[in-house]
Amino acid sequence: MLNAIGSLIRRFVDVKPHEVRAVSLAFACNFALLASYYLLRPVRDAMATVFGVDQLQTLFTGTLILTLVCSPVFAWLTEHFILSHVLPGVFWFLIINLMGFYGWFSLAPDSRTLAAAFYWWFSVVNLFMISVFWSLMVDVFTPSQASRLIPAITAGGSLGAIAGPLVASLAVKQIQVRGILLTAAAGFLVVIVLVHQFIREKRRLQDAHAEGQRSSLDRTLGGGMWDGFRALLSSAFQINQALFMLLMTWIATIGYFIQTDMISKAFTDVAARTQALANIDLVVNVASASVAFFGLGRFIRRFGVTGSLILNPILMSISFIVLALSPTLLVLQATQALRRVTQYAIARPSREICFTVVEQENRYKTKNVIDVAVYRLGDLSSAWVQAGMRAMGLGTTAALLVGVFASGIWGVSAWTLGRQYEFRRSAAFFVSRADARAH
């Protein structure tokens, strides 16, 4: 299987012979991870429709509270247990949780308490599992490797993101929601196996080829539970990373509110809503896989990380204007598809590359704060602003105009983040050249 993946990757990506196994493992791991993620995502979104768009801000508030509790817990784990145990342990925790939800769905599938609990649980753990995966990636590959290889790894995730909603759409009415949970749990078992193999591959790369990030996973990170927050506030580079994430989430939440409202009105039962949302995911992820395979690497080589970061804000500004002029379900679906394709296939992997130029502790602790806590802060603040606008009688058009304004600020943040990354990468390159000459 890995040989077949390696052959596929070599056709589209500039990968060196000794990197093939590492990239193949990362590709397969991201495939299994996002396939499981996208099995569960439409279930989570269907749970939101049980409450309706008027209650989304309450669900978002609960999500942020749980996030602020869990982020320091993750930091504590990295301080007291070695990373090579913590990383797969995250996925064992998810499997245990899914078994509990399987029993709950079997006993009370229509429970509103269950709907809220599952929504809150998945809205927290989905960010942790994605953050943990990418923390591992940027802790293995150097900036130059990441620019070449992350597009291929992203493509693996995009293919998994096709498989997940396809299975959910085709099978949910036969196996029901609890069957989807079991299938996702099996996917996380595959992720655990691949994470262990990838960790061993990091050691092999360092021992045999002296390439990759010069860090070890056989250690604890030390420090305190709040180091990630302190490091974030002490670095202009990481403050801007947080701002980029906050604004990206603001834009996504505006679309999410409108989507939830329209889906709730168009479909009457949870299974039908789950299927409709899974179909949207399927279309988005087919396009994302195509961009990741055929476009991202070329785009980064042509325009750099800075160019790939600012593309998403530009396209979203245009899309929101079009949607404001024609607020129909079809145009909304097109806007959501464009936003998510450019976010997942271009903006997200480009942003991950930026973490290759920070210290190892920040790849896990500060990155986790940004990926989880800051992300959910963006969700919550955007949700309550929209709830306030609805209370004042302001509708979809007003929300879209706010989106255009936020996209403009996001564009400035994206350009600044890209320039900061390029400066740090150049500085690291010259330091490594100087060290090589000294030895």
- The string of pLDDT tens digits covering residues 377-412 is 887 888 888 778 878 877 777 888 888 888 999 999
Cα Rg, the chain, nearest whole Å: 21
Mean pLDDT, the chain, whole residue set: 83
**How far does CA 352 lie from the centroid of its chain?**
10
Superfamily of domain 2-209+224-438, CATH level 4: MFS general substrate transporter like domains (1.20.1250.20)
The residue that leads in pLDDT, 281 or 286, is 286
Per-residue confidence (pLDDT) for residue 428, from 0 to 100: 61
Which pLDDT belongs to residue 31?
94
* % of the chain at pLDDT higher than 70: 90
Distance CA 179, CA 201 (A): 34
Q: DSSP class of residue 55?
A: G
- Arithmetic mean of pLDDT, 8-22: 80
Higher pLDDT, 211 or 76: 76
Nearest CA-CA partner of 306 in 438, 34, 314, 249:
314
pLDDT digits (tens, 9 = 90+) for 42-63: 788 778 777 766 676 777 788 8
Does pTM top 0.85 for this prediction?
Answer: no
pLDDT band at 84 (very low <50, low <70, confident <90, very high): very high
**What is d(CA 72, CA 130) in angstroms, rounded to the nearest whole number?**
17
Handedness of CA 7, 10, 16, 20 (dihedral sign): negative
- Per-residue burial over 46-71, b if 16 or more Cβ lie within 10 Å, else e, is bbbbbbebeebbebbbbbbebbbebb
Whether the Cβ atoms of residue 149 and residue 19 lie closer than 8 Å to each other: yes
Interatomic CA distance for residues 424 and 419, integer angstroms: 9
Whether 261 has a pLDDT exceeding 80, the answer reads no
pLDDT at 53: 61
